[in-house]
Amino acid sequence: MNPHSNHALPQGSPLEIHEFSTGIDVKPTASGWESGGFTGVFMNSTLNPIPNAVSEAISNGAFKLAEGASSDSPAMVGREVSGYGEQWSVVAVVTRGKDDRGRPVSLYRYFLTPTVGAIEGILRWMGRQIRVFDPFDSQIPGQPHRTQWVQQEIPLPDHFRSLVSGETPIVIPATVACNPLVLNRFTQELQSPGGMAWAYNVAALERPEYFQAIYPMDAKA
């Protein structure tokens, strides 16, 4: 793990990455699919049940983009979640779909591992191919994705260092080059006692005060 993190994992540690997604009624269309409505139950999950701490954070809006604020390109939310004797590193990938009335809906695919300090590990496992919401990508409970933690230094650009002393949430200018790994590294510098929380490529958040660092979709966000 990055040496600036408070939760260093040993080099080569195994990581089990679980996932689950927003539950929808899938309606096939000529061009693919659309949502026939939310089921209220998560789908495509490697976990049963969903951890209480994570489920509660989702219910409290800790990962929620403002309605209609998702864009054609994926947004991401990284957050450490603790509670009920549990600790989780979670990355949510948020994409825009549409329902059977043509209205936009935000669809979430969550990836999580049972330790804090491992958001970077999830991002590195994901790589450049961001895993977006896919109702047909079925998962089997008890069969998480498996990888290993490999420590790699992430240099923090100077223009990010000048922002560290600001009050949170710190909004990174959209004109500054950034990616989820750099944003995660920057958020580590902020040393928040409540655990890390950042949002990437977002237009608007339901509860921006729940985050330490935000990288907007564009200058208008």
Say if strands 145-148 and 14-21 run parallel, antiparallel, or are unpaired.
antiparallel
Predicted pLDDT at 2: 39
Is residue 7, in this structure, part of any structural domain at all? no
Is residue 194, in this structure, part of any structural domain at all? yes
Q: Is the pLDDT score of 28 beyond 90? A: no
Please state, in angstroms and rounded to a whole number, the distance separating the CA atoms of residues 160 and 189: 10
Torsion of CA 39, 210, 82, 21, to 10 degrees: 20
The beta strand positions in the chain, using DSSP E, are 14-21, 24-29, 32-38, 75-83, 86-98, 104-113, 145-148, 170-171, 197-202, 213-216
Tokens standing for 61? 């809006």
Q: Does residue 10 sit in helix, strand or coil? A: coil
Is residue 127, in this structure, part of any structural domain at all? yes
Q: Which domain holds residue 62?
A: 14-216
As a whole-number percent, the residues of the chain with pLDDT over 70 amount to 93
As a whole-number percent, the residues of the chain with pLDDT over 90 amount to 60
Please state, in angstroms and rounded to a whole number, the distance separating the CA atoms of residues 90 and 197: 9
Q: Provide mean pLDDT across the span 158-173.
A: 86
Is residue 20, in this structure, part of any structural domain at all? yes
Is residue 59, in this structure, part of any structural domain at all? yes
Mean pLDDT of the chain: 88
Predicted pLDDT at 221: 55
Q: Does residue 6 sit in helix, strand or coil? A: coil
Predicted pLDDT at 165: 77
Predicted pLDDT at 206: 87
Predicted pLDDT at 30: 82
Is residue 221, in this structure, part of any structural domain at all? no
Burial degree of 10 (CB within 10 A; 0-12, 13-18, 19+): exposed
Q: Provide mean pLDDT across the span 173-179.
A: 93
Q: Is the pLDDT score of 41 beyond 50? A: yes
Q: Provide mean pLDDT across the span 184-209.
A: 90
Q: If you search the block for the tokens 């979640």, which residue do you land on? A: 81
Number of domains in the chain: 1
Predicted pLDDT at 7: 58
Kindly report the CA angle at 48 between 42 and 49, in degrees rounded to 5?
A: 80
Q: Provide mean pLDDT across the span 37-50.
A: 94
Residue 56's pLDDT band (cuts 50, 70, 90):
very high
Please state, in angstroms and rounded to a whole number, the distance separating the CA atoms of residues 214 and 204: 10
Is residue 3, in this structure, part of any structural domain at all? no
